[in-house]
């Protein structure tokens, strides 16, 4: 069975952007014809992977978005994609965007048996310490425990994504990353990498080296770009 990679995190963590960037990276490396990007964030109608479907199809990217049908895509709690269980039982490479809340825990509990059966998976907790629900160790620990208990799956890594959108500076990233590393140490989960936009990459690379990963923002709405 191919690999399954799950990205979860609290609202504002940037998990969807991270999942999309990862799927694009894997699309150029995977042995499969297409990488499947499953949008299983069933509670949040904003900044969701399914919003990138048209962009990816227009660019001819080797990614298939698995998401609720368009009629349900902006519902408060859309149904899970009907094909998700069948795809989890199939030999493929899948990236999952999962809500970091009670809804995400319910979804993970529903599908986790099929993920564990594949035996080839990673689950990452994306943390932006400048956002609600992930600004303290207690909040991060509560989220981690919620998802791990629901899915009977342990997080294999933490992705540090400290930012304040347009107000982000290199110093803010450094301070946020120090906090994330502290959380990771207490949780005994390794930090997989520090994610930053390209405009900060060169400045931070001398300090962080290969632990730094450059990402592109695809889902930032026009009203934010205008600031």
217: domain CATH number is: 3.40.50.300
Count CB neighbours of 55 within 10 A: 12
Where the chain has pLDDT below 70, the residues are: 43-51, 58-59, 69-79, 220-227
**Residues of the domain holding 43:** 4-225
Number of domains in the chain: 1
pLDDT of residue 77: 43
Q: What is the pLDDT of residues 132-185, one digit of tens each?
A: 899 999 999 999 999 999 999 999 999 999 999 889 999 999 999 999 999 999
pLDDT of residue 82: 84
**Dist. CA 147–CA 29, nearest whole Å:** 29
Residue 190: closest CA among 211, 214, 170:
211
């Amino acid at each position: 069975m191919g690999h399954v990679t799950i990205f979860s995190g609290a609202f504002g963590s940037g998990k969807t952007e991270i999942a999309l960037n990862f799927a694009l990276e894997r699309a150029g490396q995977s042995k499969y014809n297409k990488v499947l990007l499953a949008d299983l964030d069933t509670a949040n109608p904003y900044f969701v992977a399914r919003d990138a479907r048209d962009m990816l199809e227009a660019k001819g990217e080797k990614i298939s978005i698995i998401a609720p049908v368009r009629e349900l895509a902006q519902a408060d709690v859309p149904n899970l994609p009907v094909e998700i269980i069948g795809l989890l039982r199939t030999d493929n490479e899948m990236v999952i965007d999962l809500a970091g809340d009670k809804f995400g825990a319910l979804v993970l509990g529903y599908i986790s048996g099929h993920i564990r059966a594949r035996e080839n998976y990673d689950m990452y907790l994306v943390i932006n310490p400048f956002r609600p629900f992930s600004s303290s160790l207690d909040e991060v620990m509560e989220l981690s425990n919620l998802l791990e208990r629901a899915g009977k799956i342990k997080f294999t890594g933490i992705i540090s994504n400290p930012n304040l959108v347009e107000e982000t500076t290199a110093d803010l990233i450094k301070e946020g990353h120090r906090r994330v590393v502290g959380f990771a140490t207490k949780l005994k989960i390794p930090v997989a990498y520090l994610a930053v936009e390209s405009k900060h990459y060169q400045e931070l690379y001398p300090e962080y080296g290969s632990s730094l990963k450059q990402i592109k923002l695809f889902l930032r709405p026009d009203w934010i770009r205008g600031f």
